[in-house]
Amino acid sequence: MKSSSVRLGVDIGGTFTDVVLESDGASFSTKVLTTYSAPENAIIEGMHQVCEKADVAPSAIGQIIHGTTLATNALIERRGAKTALITTQGFRDVIEMRTESRFEQYDLNLELPEPLLPRQMRFTVEERVNAKGDVMIPLERSDVERVVERIAEAGFNSVAVGLIHSYLNPSHEELVRDVLAEKLPEVAVSISSEVSPQMREYERFNTVVANAYIKPLMASYLGRLEDRLKGEGVDCRIFLMHSGGGIISIQNAAEFPVRLVESGPAGGAVFAAHIAARYGIDKVLSFDMGGTTAKICLIKDQTPKTARVFEVARTYRFKKGSGMPISIPVIDMVEIGAGGGSLAHVDALRQIRVGPESAGSEPGPACYGRGGERPGVTDADLVLGKLDPENFAGGTIPLHPESAKSALKDHVGIPLEMDASEAAFGVSEVVDENMANAARVHAVENGEDLSEYTMIAFGGAAPLHAGRLCEKLGVERLIVPPGAGVGSAIGFLRAPFSFEANRSVYMKLSDFDAGAIKKILSELQNEATGFVRSCDAESDVLSEFKVYMRYTGQGWEIPIRLTEIQAMSPDADTFLARFEEDYAKLFGRTVAGMDVEITVWSVNATTPPETVAPVQIAAHAEPASAEGVRQVFDPVSTKFLDAQVISRDALSPGRSVKGPAVITENETTIIVPAGRTALCQPDGCIDILKGD
């Protein structure tokens, strides 16, 4: 897939824009502040910095892979286009009525998030398709024209079209699109049967509305970016990372910008998957902890787990149901409000609570000495000896232990009759427990046993907490890769070209129709392959087939992977056997006597994964000599212990250090708990294992 040896990975995050340049196997990275008003400026600046470091001209760059939170932020901050929805008569309020439930049972003053489009921006046409895909009420062109006139008068810039059962029969949505294209050619149009052809009207309508809402903004940004880069002499193709962990062309990204949501975290998961491949590890838990949130993802067989629906813009303590559902292929992650800046308090039950409220970078936790008075996780880390006040962020931010202590004492210690150290221990334990619980629940939902997993930790705060998390989860091995601070941008450079096409069509195994199945899967394969071909005309394209199955009567489908042979020469017995195998694995037993049905069909087309050179595991050389000793709290014995301190640079491949130990570097600090040993591998990863 490489069109040139010089490649640039760019990740626009909320605070920093990370830029990584790879040239002939060498890697150069930088972080520059994100420039909100014109995000392309930060990219250009970062690009010049890394080009200088690598001593290459921008014109030598052969390929740019880009991921961004701009789409997500536009949805969260409601900064999208003036958008209208056209929907089926009788269903004007689907995106507002949601599931008709409250995501928090015990709050009398609960406020539901406003839909992206208020009611006056939602229009209806008279038409109806039934659950078989048959037209019951034909859509009259004159009715569409009536609505289009109103849209013209109100001056909308973008229109979403979402009609009932359109995933089975898109003809009415296509008619609306054609009339709009004819009458209002300058207006952007998104139709739900293209953006997200899946059953369940709330998710599908919301997804097409989100796509329409950010389409003009993203199209304009991507256009500007192309121009700016050309102006700088960069004439290569630009590709975009999508939420499913692959890359698509800039044209497809502009057409389906909703697929860019969560591209940054997806890059992180790809980064972890690549390390898993280098080490030949089949079961990996990736753990990314920053200032505000922690993200956890399961990676099996070096492939991040994916899902079909996720939620963005949660408005209420990251609570499920408080955001908006987006049904597109996405890397499946749990995100919780736990980061270095998460604030702690004691509630009415005298329980320590941590997060999701965060101190952010301004004023930051108390130890930053910038006016923050409430204790954060970083304060606890400092008091427990995990951080060196002189050497935080490479010494650029001096930390104030006394401020951390008094904040912990005032807000946690006094109410619970604890001293500052105990309070710090409590805060640290609670945040670690919150993350461990999220990981456990995620594992159970996927039928996985975490004790068989290896953790790969990255992000500024992760290496401080990963060791304890492993103890809580019974995980034996922890790997902390180098370059963890720009993990997502590195991940972009490892991602294949890929596109997943989905379709909802019901079929019971008792009505198994091999011909129809072959047809559905071939069409999906052609569609998905077409997207990949538009990025790469030569490479092999592999197809991954998945069907979502359940017992008739159940509401949750489980994804069943099929081989190409199983998919292209389908037979009912094989499908049933594959389903029962996976079902039993997830839920312990199969259910006798029930029919089984398929609800969703999916084909992911992808270029082959980059061949990975396996790491030659380092032989243990003699232990590295410590540069010093400091007291670090050990949560198991609940005592401060003497821990060796060593800088990461001093830890050459093959050298090891026994816990308790602290490995320091500019971007973060790695805590090696007592009873574990860290070994530096040839690729620079710190490999921490239980025992000596």
Instruction: State phi, psi for 391 to the nearest 5 degrees.
Output: -125, 35
- Tokens standing for 134? 């048959």
Of 580, 505, 514, 592, the residue nearest 550 (C-alpha) = 580
Q: Which is nearer to other proteins, 238 or 354 (CB)?
A: 354
642/630 Cα distance (integer angstroms): 6
Q: Which is nearer to other proteins, 383 or 624 (CB)?
A: 383
Q: Which is nearer to other proteins, 25 or 555 (CB)?
A: 555
DSSP label of 132: T
Nearest-approach distance from CB 530 to other proteins, in angstroms: 27
241/489 Cα distance (integer angstroms): 10
∠ CA 30-486-340, nearest 5°, is: 115
Nearest-approach distance from CB 513 to other proteins, in angstroms: 16
- Using CA atoms, how far residue 484 sits from 95, 457, 665, 666, 667, in Å, is 39, 8, 11, 11, 8
Nearest-approach distance from CB 286 to other proteins, in angstroms: 21
Nearest-approach distance from CB 203 to other proteins, in angstroms: 8
Contacts (Cβ under 8 Å, ≥6 apart) of 504: 167, 168, 197, 198, 199, 599, 600, 601
Nearest-approach distance from CB 122 to other proteins, in angstroms: 9
Q: Which is nearer to other proteins, 31 or 546 (CB)?
A: 546
Q: Which is nearer to other proteins, 91 or 512 (CB)?
A: 91
Q: Which is nearer to other proteins, 444 or 577 (CB)?
A: 444
194/256 Cα distance (integer angstroms): 9
Contact criterion met (CB below 8 Å) for 212 and 83: yes
Across the strands, what pairs with 544? 604
Nearest-approach distance from CB 205 to other proteins, in angstroms: 10
283/477 Cα distance (integer angstroms): 11
DSSP label of 552: B
656/691 Cα distance (integer angstroms): 12
517/503 Cα distance (integer angstroms): 12
Nearest-approach distance from CB 454 to other proteins, in angstroms: 19
Sign of CA dihedral 430, 434, 439, 445: positive
Q: Which is nearer to other proteins, 111 or 622 (CB)?
A: 111
Contact criterion met (CB below 8 Å) for 674 and 690: no
499/465 Cα distance (integer angstroms): 35
Q: In what order do the strands lie in the sheet with 558-562?
A: 498-508, 596-606, 542-551, 558-562
Counting beta carbons within 10 angstroms of the beta carbon of residue 24, is it exposed (0 to 12), middle (13 to 18) or buried (19 or more)? Answer: exposed
Q: Which is nearer to other proteins, 67 or 325 (CB)?
A: 325
Nearest-approach distance from CB 142 to other proteins, in angstroms: 20
Nearest-approach distance from CB 207 to other proteins, in angstroms: 13
218/204 Cα distance (integer angstroms): 20
Nearest-approach distance from CB 153 to other proteins, in angstroms: 6
Nearest-approach distance from CB 638 to other proteins, in angstroms: 4
- Tokens standing for 588? 């312990």
Contact criterion met (CB below 8 Å) for 322 and 315: yes
Across the strands, what pairs with 300? 283, 303
Helix H segments across 232-353? Answer: 250-255, 263-279
Nearest-approach distance from CB 157 to other proteins, in angstroms: 10
DSSP H or E run through 629: strand 628-634
Q: Which is nearer to other proteins, 393 or 591 (CB)?
A: 591
Nearest-approach distance from CB 90 to other proteins, in angstroms: 3
25/14 Cα distance (integer angstroms): 29
16/361 Cα distance (integer angstroms): 12
Contacts (Cβ under 8 Å, ≥6 apart) of 556: 550
- Tokens standing for 139? 């859509």
Nearest-approach distance from CB 380 to other proteins, in angstroms: 12
